[in-house]
């Protein structure tokens, strides 16, 4: 466990040292990004670090959350390092996606969600099990993989 923590810390420091992005004050993020952070993570005070990296904003929040937004502030992804992503984030995807997750994966921890132009990917965890779900951009289930 100590080795893993050390490796993750080293990776974070190395990545931060060589980051290509331009630091951005949280108040200067696009309005949709600020609204998302306020709605699901309690406000801009939760922003630890934000940068504009090419065509996207990368935002690290206190509590181990990593967010990506495109240049206009639309959500691209949310990832949690060690705890669950708030279930309210599922309100950002088609209702059929959240309905499927709530009915088939109740009690599972939402750890990553990625929204692309043609698909939505969701990762869930429960104990030693991991599930990866893929949906079309309209919310139609495409694939379910469960690993232990």
Tens-digit pLDDT profile for residues 10-48: 445 445 444 578 999 999 999 999 999 999 999 999 999
pLDDT for the residue numbered 82: 86
Residues 21 and 68 in one domain: yes
**Residue 131: CA count within 13 A, CB half-sphere:** 18
Residues 68 and 139 in one domain: no
Domain count, the chain: 2
Pairing of strands 47-53, 22-23: antiparallel
Last residue of a domain, one of 37, 63, 80: 80
pLDDT for the residue numbered 137: 97
């Amino acid at each position: 466990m100590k080795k893993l923590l050390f490796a993750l810390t080293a990776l974070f420091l190395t990545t931060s040292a060589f980051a290509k992005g331009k630091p951005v004050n949280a108040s200067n993020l696009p309005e949709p990004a600020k609204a998302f952070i306020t709605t699901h993570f309690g406000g801009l005070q939760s922003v630890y670090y934000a940068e504009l990296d090419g065509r996207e904003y990368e935002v690290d929040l206190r509590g181990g959350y990593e967010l990506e937004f495109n240049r206009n502030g639309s959500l691209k992804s949310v990832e949690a390092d060690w705890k669950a992503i708030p279930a309210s984030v599922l309100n950002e995807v088609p209702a059929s996606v959240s309905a499927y997750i709530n009915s088939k994966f109740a009690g599972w921890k939402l750890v990553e969600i990625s929204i692309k132009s043609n698909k939505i990917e969701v990762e869930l965890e429960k104990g030693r099990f991991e599930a990866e779900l893929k949906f079309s951009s309209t919310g139609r289930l495409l694939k379910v993989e469960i690993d232990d």
